[in-house]
Amino acid sequence: MKDVEEPQLIAASVYYSYEDIGYRRAILSSPVVAGNKVYFGTVPVAGESDFPVGIFSYSLDYPIYEYSSNLILLDGYWHIEAGVAGGLTYSDGKIFFGGGDGKLYCADAAGKGKISPYPTTIEDPGTILWVTDRIDETDVTGLSSAPLVCGDRVWVTSQMPAALYGFNLTTGAQEIRTDLVSGVAGRASPSVNDDGSVIFTAGRNGTAAADAVTGEIIWAFDVSGAGGTPVYSDGCVFFETEEDLYCLNAASGEEQWHTAHAGNATAPVVTASMVIANGDNGLTAYSRENGAQIWNNPTDENSSVSPNSPVADVSNNVVYYTQNYDDRLGFVYKVDLTDGATLNRSAQSLFVEDNEFISSHDIDYLCDELFEDGFGAPIIYSSPALADSSLFVGTGECVPEGFDPDVTDFDYWEAVDCGGMSSLWFFGLPDHYQEVLAEADVVPYYGETFESDVGEIRYDTVYGVLETGSFRKEGNGYTRIYSYSLQADDDGVRLVSVKGYSDKDWYIYKNGNLLGTSIDPEEPVNIGDQLVFAYGGTPDDAAYVIRLTVSDMIFPSLFISPNEKATGGMVRMNVPSSSSGTLYARAADAKGNRINDPEIEWSSEGPVRIVPDGDSCIWTTDNVSGSSEAVIRAVHTESGMLLKSEIVFTVYDEETIRDMIPKNSSVEQTDTFFTARGNYARTGVAAGEGPKTPTILWDCHFPDVQYTTLVDGHPALSSGNVYVTTWGGAMSGDGTSGYGVYSFNASTGEQNWYSETMISRTGLTVVDGRIYGGGGSSLMCVDEKTGQLIWSTGSISNAAYIGLTSVPLIFNDTVYVSAVYVDEQKRKVTESLYGFTLDDNDGDGKPEEIFRLDAGRGTGMFASPALSPAGENYPAVVYAAGDGGVFAVDTTTNQKIWSFDAGASGQGKATFGGTIDYGGNGIFVSGPAYRNGCVYFTVSNSSNYSGEYGTGIYCLDAVTGTLKWHDKVNISSVNTPVVTEDKVLFVCDGLYAYDQDGNRLWFCETEVTEKAAATVAGNMAYFGTYGAGKLYAVDITTGEVAWSYKMPLIAEGTSWYSLIEATPSIESGILYIGSENGHFYAFKDPDMPDTFTITAAPSRNGVIRPAGETVVEKGGSVVCTISPDNGWHIADVLVDGISVGAVSSYRFSNVDADHTIAAVYEKDEMQPRPTRDTVRELIAYLANGDPLRKDYDYDINHDGRINGKDLILAEMMSS
């Protein structure tokens, strides 16, 4: 069901009422819609048990041609002898519910029941997975609490005795029982706060909050009465008693307001501005802020409000609730959410007789006349359920005159004709179901069988025939009326006529073009094609229509990788000359299931030799000079389809491979801290010095919002401003006022602007007037000057409590970012490296996704991609965490070129309202750092790992991905290393230091650290600790602590003041860092100078301008140009004694310290004097454009051009 409007409560739109299930039973439970099915519970009435009761499910996929109740709709049935009166909960393919016998049940939601023409027998009822002992002794309804699924538990509240229970989600074993004393209203159900840590429940003579781990009561609010279902919303809890409506502070249980409200203690509807509740006086809306009445929709004459709960459709600005006329007829009301006016009421009778609607508007006549005939049923406890623009509600039993409970034969019931009793009512748009028989994205699989959840779509041949079918009513059943198919094989996908049974022609359209009523020859189909099957007309006026969009083509696959556990292949690798390794071929069927021991045919060409061994092969490269390409191929045949995969080796000799990437490139230098770690290489080294003392320049204390504001983001600086993100302890996609991204003047701390668009705990990248960063689970781009949102990707990284923590990298008009997506339904973790466009090119508010690479597993929090510079014959490369370690991506092709597996498989467990095991080993990888041809990263520890590598710090060759060195350190929380010119440092309960060869220099021990990395400025490294909440400055030449600063407490008696995740940024001598005590700090030495000197060293063979000493104000910039004398060239340029390469200019940006610059020149090599051959070559070039030799400089007069002057000089010099 797609893109349909809100339900219309008119007689013509009562889609169906399923009266047949209503014989001798009532629907008291509220329906639940999931997976295109509706589930509801029934209870027996009149003391009879001959008729099946329990849980029923009905499919909403099949077309209905008449307003009738036909048993073909039955999808499943679960027999519960005592019936089900309470609410149902669907979660992850299971249905949870309380029985009339007081027990809690868990059932497989894939029902398989078959019901006879009259509902007296049930064949093959659905599976009950587990059931508890009796926990509620309440008469008739039993356990009426709707279960709450939270984490790995299911929670219910019992009424007699009053208690809160927590059961194991998988086994049903009781884990929690908390005595609630009394005060639980019927059908009162538990609820939960945002992060799943607190359960709210009726009881303790009102309502209470319990710890979700232990079940212990945190607070209780006593009103000396039975409380209804507590509703949690944005830090508040709302609940009803029979006399009042309350609003409490969710954290403390303190009353915010209450107002008199008489009626049943049910569950109110809570919107952003209102609280709406059923009551004796109808439906009433109150101000969420203070409880003042906003509007009231009164009951009609002789009517009363049902003792259930309303339901709101905020997007359409309406709310639905129910009334009962004279306790005999039920009506559904649609009310304007703004002013409470009745917009519509389910008209007339809400039941059918002989498939015709009764349309009398005389309610008294309607009730009296039809009640005598056995029609009519009140809506008792069943609350309306709104799903996909349809409304569902169940009715109770209303006994007709002359009813004899001892008479049970069907003749009596048929004679009385009580088809209107105990129905499931469904309001919606019947034309949508009647005309659109199926509407779906379809995927032609190769060699698989698949059934869709709309219409009937299946694949049933070796090459995958997709068959679409629909049904029409024939007597008491349905028969297929047509069939067409999509056939998929190795020649592509085609649309084919198969057979048909229709009395009218089916017209077939592809992408809006009519193909006819049959297809001959076969019609090719491609991804994105839109197919329409229209019965007896065009898609606009046909009686029945099926619309399909081909969303993908899925076939068996084969890939090659050097990683045995890889989930995706590689197309190119860089390898040294005379080296060896192993490649693995992995084959999968059309659904992605791995094929064990596939028969692989290996082959190779070029300077590489292979030794095949089943699905792997050992390769050895030849000794080459310079570089050369080799290819290794794998071939496998699956279900008759030939699968091929190949990987290209670029083989380099040792000298070539060392010269491929420039050393000390600008990518590795920090001018301004515009991104995490100061530059895209992520070295973590700032320009200039940092503070020598813990002197605070300014301090911003953020106001508390729901909780203490957490300032965990890595600050970014640009244009004299500093930008930092804040959050409140849980990611949110829609923003919460007070949390978000802030802009401050970097020198004074004065706030420029604040935007709640980007709530985040991560760092930012500021480029060309835009700020890129994580906002909840989305990648966002906002304007640097205003904070206004430019675009957002939507959810790509939703790991629990983390969201998107990878800091974006912008290169070649592409935004690179790592993402971890947790699918709690499928218990699956997907890790990816994304590439997005810089702009929203199609106006949909999102950038275009350029590529998405499978990152395997192991990506840690704050793992951001790093970059190495492009060389003369080598592309710039992005390095990202994943594949168990780190992998490298060619930025020209966005394909992996190597992968190193350190044994990590990441998300072993995820905690979000409970702990869920995803099958990983709990080992994570930090974001990599690049410097001078090497890639550095850290890996965390785990008791589950016993492999070769595991925890510690790593150094890899950046070109080949081969290990250079590894030191095993027991790291509990990974962080990106800092890489200076001669040292490698990382944080782990202190600071470790190594030289470039991996020799440990020293270890400075501190308190426990977590997540936060260090930043180096001058000879000092700065980092924060976890439990002690200290900021440390450590001298990296000695490993001794220079100073430390302890963050102040939030309040006396607390200990939450730690830095935890904040990594400092340093610019112009000022250190910026946030804390989880709600503060953002700037540290600066009070005696730091405001002007600095740039000194250009003189040289006899060239000049640097400006020459001598140049005075620069703090934060200013100077560009130095280097010019060699004639006959000389630049060999190297040294800035502060460090080589920056043979550059002709160098820019000092955001100057905060004195600097020196010097140039090294070399004399040009003398080339041979021109000869007569040189003269002839110049004549041919100037006259005919013939090419000149590249090993000779024909610009003989050194004016930068080759012309007639050079020819004259050549003739003179050669004579």
Interatomic CA distance for residues 142 and 100, integer angstroms: 4
Overall average pLDDT of the 629-645 stretch: 81
Q: Which of 32-41, 424-433, 1116-1125 has the lowest mean pLDDT?
A: 424-433
Which tens digit of pLDDT belongs to each residue from 1036-1068? 999 999 999 988 876 555 555 556 678 999 988
Read off the pLDDT band of 596 (50, 70, 90).
Answer: confident
- Cβ neighbours of residue 345 closer than 8 Å, sequence gap 6 or more: 9, 331, 332, 333, 334
Distances (CA, A) of 592 to 446, 567, 855: 11, 10, 16
- CA dist 296 and 275 (Å) reads 12
| pLDDT digit string, tens, across residues 242-297 | 999 999 999 999 999 999 999 889 999 999 999 999 999 999 999 999 999 999 99
CA distance 507 to 525: 17
For the cut 90, the answer to whether the pLDDT of residue 527 exceeds it is no
Of 856, 857, 813, whose CA–CA distance to 835 is shortest? 813
Query: Which of the 8 DSSP states describes residue 757?
Result: T
**The pLDDT of residue 467 is above 80:** no
Out of 15-24, 124-133, 150-159, 308-317, which region has the weakest mean confidence (pLDDT)? 15-24
| Average pLDDT, integer, range 325-354 | 70
Length of the chain: 1215
CA dist 1072 and 1034 (Å) reads 16
DSSP 874: B
Banded pLDDT at 640 (limits 50, 70, 90): low
62 pLDDT more than 50: no
Helices then strands (H, E): number in the chain? 6, 99
Query: What are 771's two structure tokens?
Result: 């700020």
pLDDT at site 77: 77
Helix/strand/coil percent split, the chain, to 5 = 5, 45, 50
Q: Is the pLDDT of residue 1008 over 90?
A: no
| Other C-beta atoms lying within 10 Å of the C-beta of residue 665 | 21
- Averaged pLDDT score across all residues of the chain: 77
Compute, in degrees rounded to 10, the torsion defined by CA atoms 1023, 1025, 1029, 1030: -40
From the number of C-beta atoms within 10 Å of its C-beta (0-12, 13-18, 19+), residue 1208 rates as middle
Task: Calculate the dihedral angle through the C-alpha atoms of 322, 317, 63, 548, rounding to the nearest 10 degrees.
Answer: -160
Whether the per-residue pLDDT at 1 is higher than 50: the answer is no
Which residue has better confidence, 842 or 65? 842
* Arithmetic mean of pLDDT, 882-894: 88
Under the banding of pLDDT at 50, 70 and 90, the label for residue 511 is confident
Chain Cα centroid distance, residue 25: 44
Confidence of residue 833 (pLDDT cuts 50, 70, 90): very high
**With bands split at pLDDT 50, 70 and 90, how would you rate the model's confidence at 1207?**
confident
**What is the average pLDDT across 643-665?**
78
Least confident of 259-263, 485-489, 856-860, 906-910: 485-489
pLDDT at 69 (0 to 100): 33
Q: How far apart are CA 854 and CA 832, in angstroms?
A: 5
Check whether 476 has a pLDDT greater than 50.
Answer: no
DSSP character at residue 1183: H
The set of residues, in sequence order, having a beta carbon less than 8 Å from that of 843 and lying 6+ positions away, is: none
The two tokens of residue 876 are 């710039």
Domains, the chain: 148-228+230-265+267-274 (2.40.128.630), 432-550 (no CATH), 557-656 (2.60.40.3440), 666-1083 (2.130.10.10), 1091-1163 (2.60.40), 1172-1214 (no CATH)
- Range name among 88-97, 312-321, 324-333, 355-364 with the lowest pLDDT average: 355-364
pTM of the model: 0.51
Residue 289: per-residue pLDDT: 93
Question: Which pLDDT band holds residue 683 (cuts at 50, 70, 90)?
Answer: very high
CA distance 456 to 950: 49
**pLDDT (tens digit per residue) in 761-810:** 888 999 989 999 988 788 999 999 999 999 999 888 876 566 788 999 99
Q: What whole-number distance in Å separates Cα of residue 418 and Cα of residue 413?
A: 7
At residue 727 the predicted structure's pLDDT band, cuts being 50, 70 and 90, is confident
Distance CA 1172, CA 1179 (A): 11
In order of 737, 922, 1195, the CA distances from 937 in angstroms are: 36, 17, 49
Contact 867, 878 (CB under 8 A): yes
Q: What is the pLDDT of residue 1068?
A: 84
- Report the half-sphere exposure of 667 (CA within 13 A, side-chain side): 24
State the residue for tokens 């790509």. 796
- Higher-confidence residue: 64 or 1182? 1182
% of the chain beyond a pLDDT of 90:
32
CA distance 214 to 910: 19
pLDDT of residue 362: 34
Structure tokens at 984: 């490698």
Q: Residue 465 has which token pair?
A: 């025939």
pLDDT tens per residue across span 840-854: 777 777 898 888 888
Nearest residue to 1043 (alpha-carbon basis) of 690, 715, 698, 678: 690
936, pLDDT greater than 90: yes
Cα maximum dimension of the chain: 134
* Cis preceding linkage at 161, omega within 30: yes
Separation of alpha carbons 175 and 869, rounded Å: 57
